[in-house]
Amino acid sequence: MDTQFTMTQDFYKQRLTDSGLQMVIPQEDARVEVHRIIYEELCQGQLLDSSREYYQRIIEQLADAGCEGAILGCTEIGMLIKQADSPIPVFDTTAIHARAAVRFLVDKAVG
């Protein structure tokens, strides 16, 4: 899940396809609401239980459709959704990038 723009652009689709994965995005009405929650709530520091529940429903629908994981592609979503909130693995891109940056810096310092 990500902003409306990012979910519908080819960036993720191409990268995932190149990796042998298939991308499934929520239906348009869900994309609009996910986008709204990001900008009108999360970017404003609001963490609402109703929005968490909405994201959980979307993830559950994707899982029911056969998705094996959910990408939290916007930096703010990780504030709202944790692994415990999902029936399938979630991939918080903010945490993934942070771990990669630390590994890079440690490798530079050691090597």
Domain count, the chain: 1
- Tens of each residue's pLDDT in the chain, 111 residues: 655 556 566 666 666 677 787 888 888 999 999 999 999 999 999 999 999 999 999 999 999 999 999 999 888 999 999 999 999 999 999 999 999 999 999 998 887
Residue 63: other Cβ atoms inside 10 A = 15
Q: HSE-up of 86 (CA within 13 Å, CB side)? A: 24
Does this model's pTM top 0.85? Answer: no
**Which domain does 85 fall in, by range?**
4-110
pLDDT at 25: 84
Query: What is the domain-level CATH number for residue 10?
Result: 3.40.50.1860
Q: What is the sign of the dihedral through the CA atoms of 54, 52, 37 and 40?
A: positive
Nearest Cα neighbor of 27 from 52, 61, 51 is 61
Cβ atoms of residues 54 and 75 within 8 Å: no
Q: What is the DSSP letter of 27?
A: -
pLDDT at 78: 94
